[in-house]
Amino acid sequence: MSFEGRNYCETCTLRTALVLFGGFLVHLALGAMYTFGNFAPYFISYIRNRTDDTEIRNVDSLWINAAGTVGNCVGLTVGGIFAHLFGARIATLIGSVVFCGSIGANYFSVNHSFIAVVFTYGLTGYLGHKLTYGTPVQTAIKWLPEHSTLAAGIIVSGTGGGSLIFNQVITGYINPDNLSPDLITADGGRYFTQPELLDRVPTCFLILSASYFALQLIGIACISDPPITSSQDPLHMVNSNKESVGKPCVELKWYKTSEDSPQHIDSNVKKQAEDYDNFGYVGVENVKVDSEKNANVPNGENAGLPNGEKAASKKNEEDVSVPEELGIIEAIKFALRCRSFYVVWLTIMLMNGGMQFINGLYKAYGQTFIADDHFLALTGSLAAIFNCIGRPIWGAVMDRTGFRVAVRCVSGGFVIMLATLILTEHLPKYLFLVWICALYFFFCGIWSIMPATLAKLLGPQHMAINYGIIYTGLSVVSILGSLFGTSLKAMIGWHGLFSMAAGLGALVFLVTFLFNGIDRNGKEI
Segment among 147-156, 391-400, 466-475 with least mean pLDDT: 466-475
Query: In this predicted model, what pLDDT tens digit does every residue of 486-501 receive, in sequence order?
Result: 667 667 788 888 888 8
Q: What is the pLDDT of the chain when averaged over all its residues?
A: 77
pLDDT in tens, 320-332: 344 455 666 776 7
d(CA 351, CA 356): 9
CA distances from 241 to 284, 289, 318 (A): 16, 14, 17
pLDDT in tens, 42-55: 999 999 999 999 88
User: For the chain, what percent of residues have pLDDT higher than 70?
Assistant: 74
For the chain, give the number of residues.
525
pLDDT category at 62 given cuts 50, 70, 90 is confident
pLDDT band at 468 (very low <50, low <70, confident <90, very high): low
Decide if pLDDT at 11 tops 60.
Answer: yes
The pLDDT-based confidence of 143 (bands split at 50, 70, 90) is: confident
Which pTM was predicted? 0.66
* Residue 193, pLDDT score: 94
In the prediction, which pLDDT does 67 show?
87
Q: In this model, does residue 209 exceed pLDDT 80?
A: yes
Of 284, 342, 351, which is closest to residue 466 (Cα–Cα)?
A: 342
- Is residue 333 scored above 50 in pLDDT? yes
Nearest to 146 by CA among 8, 350, 283, 26: 8
Are 292 and 299 a contacting pair, CB within 8 Å?
no
- How far apart CA 40 and CA 118 sit, in angstroms, is 12
Q: What is the pLDDT of residue 302?
A: 45
Q: Domains (ranges, CATH) in the chain?
A: 2-227+329-514 (1.20.1250.20), 232-324 (no CATH)
**pLDDT score, position 159:** 77
> For the segment 167-199, what is each residue's pLDDT rounded down to a tens digit?
899 999 999 999 999 888 887 788 999 999 999
Query: Looking at residue 407, what is its pLDDT?
Result: 94
Are the CB atoms for 191 and 42 separated by under 8 Å? no
| The pLDDT of residue 300 | 43
CA-based max dimension of the chain: 93
- Given a cut of 70, whether residue 71 has pLDDT beyond it is yes
- pLDDT at position 173 is 96
Alpha helices (H) in 284-402, listed in sequence order = 291-295, 307-319, 328-336, 339-366, 373-401
Taking the C-alpha atoms of residue 158 and residue 21, their distance in angstroms, rounded to an integer, is: 9
3-state secondary structure 31-100: HHHHHHHHHHHHHHHHHHHHCCCCCCCHHHHHHHHHHHHHHHHHHHHHHHHHHHHHCHHHHHHHHHHHHH
Question: According to the model, what pLDDT value does residue 208 have?
Answer: 96
Name the residue with higher pLDDT: 417 or 303. Answer: 417
pLDDT at 303: 44
Residue 463 pLDDT exceeds 90: no
Residue-level pLDDT at 466: 65
Residue 271 confidence (pLDDT) above 70: no
Rounded to the nearest angstrom, the gap between the alpha carbon of residue 399 and the centroid of all alpha carbons in its chain is 16
Query: Which of 216, 100, 83, 202 lies closest to 158 in space, CA to CA?
Result: 216
Sign of the CA dihedral with 436 first, then 441, 443, and 444 last = positive
- Mean pLDDT, range 264-268, rounded to an integer: 41
Please give the radius of gyration of the chain, using alpha carbons only, rounded to the nearest integer. Answer: 26
